Structure 1
Amino acid sequence: MILGAMTLCITNPLWVTKTRLMLQYGGVVNPSQRQYTGMFDALVKIYKYEGVRGLYKGFVPGLFGTSHGALQFMAYEWLKLKHNKLTNRLPEAQLSTAEYISIAALSKIFAVAATYPYQVVRARLQDQHVSYGGVMDVIIKTWRKEGISGFYKGIAPNLIRVTPACCITFVVYENVSHLLRDLREKKVS
């Protein structure tokens, strides 16, 4: 989580820039809804008109996002142990590819469901078309106007985008890990 926070310190201006570029509307003349010609132009204009604070909008909710990976790995390892216990296998037993995919997908869904609201809050703070008084203002207004579903807007496409990569990563990791372990054991024997 500490490394995630350090990474966020460096990358938050890029997230703000990405969000602003995505939320541009054509033909807007209002200076608060200024048009950007590209990434560098957006970075310069955000800094020029909003200062460093503008580049770090959404930073606080972004810190909550650093827990995503920790939650995912915790869930993944817990699900593997429970699965092996239910199937009467040793805790470190190798699973089938389908089992790894299922467990990886479930762990990703859990982590996304637990941390997704921060992404909504962060994106809303970074939107140049709406002004909020901070993180709590976004949370209160979202809750009042949209309820819990307001914090999960866009979660389905996000899950469709991130889950396959997660499954592939864990299948490759587990198979390479077991291959290396087997090679080490053969070398020792």
Structure 2
Amino acid sequence: MARPSMDTDTRPTRLYSALRNIKWEYLVAGISGGVVSTLVLHPLDLVKIRFQVNEGYGVTNRPKYNGIVHALRSIARSDGFVGLYQGVTPNIWGAGMSWGLYFFFYNSIKTKLNEGDSKRNLGPGYHIMAATGAGFTTLVLTNPIWVTKTRLCLQYDKPAVSTSSVHYKGMLDALFKIYKFEGIRGLYKGFVPGVFGISHGALQFMAYEEMKTLYNTYRNQPIDTRLGSAEYVVFAALSKMFAATTTYPYQVLRSRIQDQHRDYGNIRDIVRQIFKYEGIRGLYKGLGIYLWHVTPNICIVFLLYEYITNWKSNRPDNHS
């Protein structure tokens, strides 16, 4: 009987070694941060989406809001407190999966690029490369969930009086009906502006990493030194505001093409109509509320991310 080859004998060992080297804590950290921040801040996200698609022409049955507070009060008055969490299920799934996968892929790529040396400074170029790769992979996997979130957030009417040809009962019902009536293309509506939106995450993570590096360099300490909560909050907020104001128009385009109440031809058609009827300000509708929503959101996500990924160094037995 022929003896098994050494290559066959070492396969389980190599697989086990590969699995051990995967940083699962990044996946857990991203999911935790995404879920917690979404549960706390979803009402602002709901209002942001409604502001983004409110073009002021075309669809006449959209609710009209005078501002953030008026929008929140109007939704709560007409639909109750539950109405403020319309679309929260796909938002939780989407945020949890997106942050989890993004952090997981980003740190996996970054570890590969720096060859496992966390003290090595990759620089802005490689940070953007890692964030871009992570962003594209995450977008491919999560785009259908974001479509259902937008559709549910823009479902204004009760089933009995709905003017829309399709009413969604929830996330799974929306996924099924979108695929049934619009096919796979329906589930990937908004993918093109989403690809442009990858630059958002790339700029954010590049800025975040560079601020941490510059701060540690200024303090004459290793670049992988664990910082305090205040530093993480400040760097996360500043990097997010920088990325948000730079790339925000893609979010307006994505929300509008995913809107079930309008039928735009393509992205070029949306841009043409925005410039024709709303001007350049139309590309920034909802930016104010987005900054109100995203700043605490990103602080929660990054605080949990840094705490969970550094939990081993926080344990008492590591400081004894």
Taking a change above 3 Å as real, the CA distance of residues 104 and 14 of structure 1, as seen in their structure-2 partners, is: closer
2:135: which partner in 1? Answer: 4
Taking a change above 3 Å as real, the CA distance of residues 74 and 18 of structure 1, as seen in their structure-2 partners, is: same
Q: TM-score scaled to structure 2, two decimals?
A: 0.48
The one-character-per-residue Cα deviations of 1:137-173 (angstroms, maximum 9, x if unpaired) are 1122112222222122222222222222433555563
- Shift, 1:132, TM fit: 0.7
1:14: which partner in 2? Answer: 145
Return the structure number with greater helix share.
1
Matches of 1:100 and 1:65 in 2, distance apart?
A: 23
Instruction: Point out where structure 1 has 5 or more consecutive residues left out of the alignment.
Output: 181-185
1:117: which partner in 2? Answer: 249
Q: Secondary structure at the match of 2:151?
A: helix
- Shift, 1:37, TM fit: 1.7
Aligned residue among 233, 236, 246 for 1:101: 233
- Shift, 1:13, TM fit: 1.4
Q: Which moved more, 1:14-23 or 1:118-127?
A: 14-23
Aligned residue among 177, 200, 224 for 1:45: 177
2:293: which partner in 1? Answer: 161
Identity among equivalent positions (%) equals: 53
Matches of 2:167 and 2:190 in 1, distance apart?
A: 20
2:191: which partner in 1? Answer: 59
Q: How many residues align?
A: 181
- Shift, 1:97, TM fit: 4.7
Instruction: Point out where structure 2 has 5 or more consecutive residues left out of the alignment.
Output: 1-131, 314-318
2:264: which partner in 1? Answer: 132
Q: Are the aligned partners of 2:164 and 2:261 in contact in 1 as well (CA < 8 Å)?
A: no
Matches of 1:9 and 1:73 in 2, distance apart?
A: 19
> Quick check: 1:75 aligned with 2:207?
yes
1:23: which partner in 2? Answer: 154
Task: Please give the root-mean-square deviation of Cα atoms over the aligned residues, in Å.
Answer: 3.2
Matches of 1:35 and 1:123 in 2, distance apart?
A: 18
1:144: which partner in 2? Answer: 276
Which amino acid is 1:146 matched to?
E
- Shift, 1:74, TM fit: 1.6
- Shift, 1:77, TM fit: 3.4
1:183: which partner in 2? Answer: none
Q: TM-score scaled to structure 1, two decimals?
A: 0.76
The one-character-per-residue Cα deviations of 1:160-188 (angstroms, maximum 9, x if unpaired) are 222224335555638x76x94xxxxx99x
Taking a change above 3 Å as real, the CA distance of residues 76 and 8 of structure 1, as seen in their structure-2 partners, is: closer
2:220: which partner in 1? Answer: 90
- Shift, 1:114, TM fit: 1.8
- Shift, 1:95, TM fit: 6.2
- Shift, 1:68, TM fit: 2.1
The one-character-per-residue Cα deviations of 1:49-82 (angstroms, maximum 9, x if unpaired) are 2121111110101112222222112222334456
